[in-house]
Structure 1
Amino acid sequence: MRDPAAAPLLKDLHLEYTTRYGPNEELNRYPDAEFAPPGGAFLVLVEDGHTVAGGAFRRYDATTAELKRVWAHPGHRRRGLGKLVVRALEEEAARRGYRRVYLTTGPRQPEAAALYLSTGYRPLYDVTAPPDTLHHLAFEKDLPGGAAGQEVRAAEVQDA
């Protein structure tokens, strides 16, 4: 993401992933182009000139968007920003014709799992299993109004 507003988000995500999981290449798994229109989008929330939250989606398949990199600055958590980001990304994905959202989070991110459960995502894993026995926690959600075959439009959210 070349947008300077995305830099704090990506820097803090890298720090968070490294702190929770050790050295990893999670942020390098997908090229930036995967989050660009027409198949993807990257949203950044800026407050008083500071990046406070954001997230992205990419094309997972013809009817499914995959949420990635959903984040809120540690100093701005517990304000509902995560829910705001998820809702905005879902709305944009539906406008682009996606009918479903898929995502994964790590087992050492219980607050992320709680966010997705609280926003209506269905877990695709055994929720009774000890988190440390799972490689990742997958979720899905159907989008209202998404229609397969719609023409994909240019981004209406800030793309990086």
Structure 2
Amino acid sequence: MELTIERVALTHPEVTPLVEAVQGFYVERYGTPDEAPIDPTEFEDPVGQFYLGRLDGRPVATGAWRRSTVVALGGGRSAEVKRMYVAPAAQGLGVARRMLAHIEETAAAAGIDVLVLETGLRQHEAISLYASSGFEPIPGFGYYRGSELSRCFGKRLS
């Protein structure tokens, strides 16, 4: 199986079904969709980047980063990881780990020093991925500050 990762817009037609699927996942796990505000322009240069992962040509994953003002792990230019998702048919194949590595590489190439992210307490798979990829717990930030169901992580890239 071949995984390709392509930079696309959040509004790309192949992205929409994956975003809808992850929102359905949130409803299953939490009872509501993710209501954090997202502006598609936050994933365009120079503010951020959005990626679509295809496995043997089929869209199966998304991941993105957007510049952030969050100060974590000693400071520096930060970006927030957003919209990490792998369709159930492609889970367990290393797709999420490869997408996360791609996000780290592209963010570092854009001058980002620290990546931060938020995931939900009920997303054990995501928490395991981030911890095993070198992310460490940080205080809650932004929209998720004070949320009992949120867990925030950060990783120095430089």
**TM over 0.5: same fold?**
yes
Q: Which moved more, 1:85-94 or 1:46-55?
A: 46-55
Match of 1:60 in 2: 68
Match of 1:43 in 2: 51
Once superposed, what is the RMSD of the aligned Cα atoms?
Answer: 1.7
TM-score by length of 1: 0.79
| Higher RCO (C-alpha 8 Å, min separation 6) | 1
Match of 1:80 in 2: 94
Shift of 1:11: 1.3
Larger fraction in strand: 2
Give aligned-pair identity as a percent: 35
Query: Which runs of 5 or more structure 1 residues have no equivalent in the other structure?
Result: 126-132, 145-160
Match of 2:23 in 1: 14
Distance 1:109 1:25, change over 3 A: closer
Distance 1:112 1:72 in 2: 11
Amino acid at match of 1:73: A
Match of 2:4 in 1: none
Match of 1:4 in 2: 13
Distance 2:82 2:132 in 1: 17
Amino acid at match of 2:43: F
Give the alignment partner of residue 124 of structure 1, picking from 138, 149, 154: 138
Runs of 4+ in 1 over 6 A off after TM superposition: none
